[in-house]
Amino acid sequence: MTNLEHSFDARFSLQYAPTSFLMRLGRREIFVCLDFRQRYYRVNPIMDCSTGVQAGHLEILLFRKWLVILSKAKW
């Protein structure tokens, strides 16, 4: 089931990303948006994984454009 409200903290400004959506699958959340942050390291052109800005999150950058964030759902 898709839920368009997300539990990310406001200080990271992810909820203001123009084309973003969140899917909640059971106890997990998948948040997808266009990446607007400037990276100060060399990024793999196809897929780059790193820890998220919040604890317990995994960020996957696809094609240097799409940011996919995997996390546990907060009820």
Is the separation of the CB atoms in 52 and 71 below 8 Å?
yes
Domains identified in the chain, total number: 1
Determine the pLDDT at residue 4: 46
Q: What is the pLDDT along the chain (75 residues), one digit of tens a residue?
A: 444 444 454 434 555 556 788 888 888 899 898 888 888 888 888 999 988 778 888 999 999 899 998 988 776
pTM assigned to the model: 0.69
Domain membership of residue 5 (yes or no) is: no
Question: Is 2 within a domain?
Answer: no
Does residue 30 lie in a domain region? yes
What's the domain range around 16? Answer: 10-72
Helices (H) and strands (E) in the chain, counts: 0, 5
